[in-house]
Amino acid sequence: MSLLERYIGAGVIKATAMTLIVLLSLLVFLGSVDELEEVGVGDYGTLDALVVAMLSVPRFTFEVFPVAALLGSLLALGSLANHGELIAMRAAGLSLRQIVLAVLKAGLAMMLVAFVVGELLAPAAEQFGQQYKAERQKQQVTLRTRHGFWARDGQAFVNIRQILPGARLEDIYIYEFGPDRQLTLTTHAEYAEHDGENWVLQRIRQSRIGADGVESRNVGRATWSSLIDPGLLRIIVVNPAMLPLWSLQQYISYMHQNGQSAIGYEVAFWGKIATPLATLVMVVIALPFVLGSLRSVGIGHRIFLGAILGSVFYLLTRGFSYVAVVYDVSPWLASLLPPLVFLVVAVVLLRRVA
């Protein structure tokens, strides 16, 4: 990569970072206002609300990265155009192809950052934030591990391997202890549903541990008067869009094996792939709007243009995701179509500029 290409790429990345900071500041402020409305529920205080709002930063970063890349690219390239630097570069022999490649390389770097944030930082922060909020509001200690969801229920400890939409639990283990902290009863149920008052366990196997040994029995159905509120489960279940790809794939396979519709998780899966790609596409689509006219254009004009394009992209993305869920349209098509449409438009406009 030549010095000029590095200069262009660094400008795009810096402008995107600054734009991202501005957008995140606004989103965190709005998120804090929403969280403050829940202050007073249980032990949930003002500081807790601010902590939860800050833990949403990785999620916000992933969600707005394409828009930030678009605005940052428009501002960075627009600044080069306004100061005559793009004209000077082309006069010095830097071709349009090299300018495009420089921007693409910066876009690829940002696409990688978006992917890492979406796969590693956002899911971990979101899960911790929701778990922390649930503990403060519901005053019940919970833990989410790779072995599922754990909670204390009186003298028992509960391990739920799968929490599905509608507060349906699957693969449940209940370990009950006596006053002397000795394990007295273990229960495994294949699944459970809430009937409005209690949990109803299905296909149960119990092992009672006593001084004379272990006694096992099978039970078809039983009521479980648990202290675990279904509302708690709804709080701690992370939005499918914020689950990592491997977790989404597990959910999809699990639900297919049990004859359940996984369309929401499939849309989220392809959406997690489409967002980093959209970051690259947004960088590309900024090029023709700047290269097509190298005359001075105000920063307000570029921000307005970026806001319009970003809004159109957001509405298309959200609209197609709803269409996929409601009308059973192919999830990969609904998720990838908006960035592909923008990519085609960018390529067409670039060919006209060339």
Span 196-208, pLDDT tens digits:
777 888 899 999 8
Read off the pLDDT of residues 10-26 as tens digits, 9 standing for 90 and up: 999 999 999 999 999 99
Residues with Cβ within 8 Å of 302's Cβ and at least 6 positions away in sequence, in order, are 71, 74, 75, 78
Q: Mean pLDDT over all residues of the chain?
A: 83
Reduced to 3 states (helix: H, G, I; strand: E, B; else coil), residue 110 is: helix
Read off the pLDDT of residues 242-251 as tens digits, 9 standing for 90 and up: 778 888 887 7
Q: Token match 């004009």: residue?
A: 301
Closest CA to 149 of 140, 74, 98, 332: 140
Reduced to 3 states (helix: H, G, I; strand: E, B; else coil), residue 201 is: strand
Task: Give the whole-angstrom CA distance, residue 73 versus residue 140.
Answer: 47
Read off the pLDDT of residues 25-47 as tens digits, 9 standing for 90 and up: 999 999 999 988 888 877 888 99
Residue 351 in this model has a pLDDT that exceeds 70? yes
Are 189 and 172 in contact by the 8 Å Cβ rule? The answer is yes
CA torsion through residues 270, 271, 274, 276, sign? negative
Q: Work out the average pLDDT over 48-69.
A: 92
Residues with Cβ within 8 Å of 60's Cβ and at least 6 positions away in sequence, in order, are 23, 24, 27, 28, 31
pLDDT value, residue 294: 45
| pLDDT bucket at 285, cuts 50 / 70 / 90 | confident
Reduced to 3 states (helix: H, G, I; strand: E, B; else coil), residue 121 is: helix
pLDDT value, residue 292: 66
Q: Work out the average pLDDT over 342-353.
A: 84
Read off the pLDDT of residues 65-84 as tens digits, 9 standing for 90 and up: 999 999 998 888 888 888 88
pTM here?
0.78
Using a pLDDT cut of 90, give the percent of the chain over it: 21
Pair of tokens at residue 227: 């202290």
Residues with Cβ within 8 Å of 174's Cβ and at least 6 positions away in sequence, in order, are 153, 156, 157, 158, 159, 185, 186, 187, 188, 189, 224
Give the least confident one: 101-105, 259-263, 327-331.
259-263
pLDDT value, residue 21: 95
Using a pLDDT cut of 70, give the percent of the chain over it: 89
Closest CA to 54 of 20, 31, 38: 31
Residue 110 in this model has a pLDDT that exceeds 90? yes
Reduced to 3 states (helix: H, G, I; strand: E, B; else coil), residue 261 is: coil
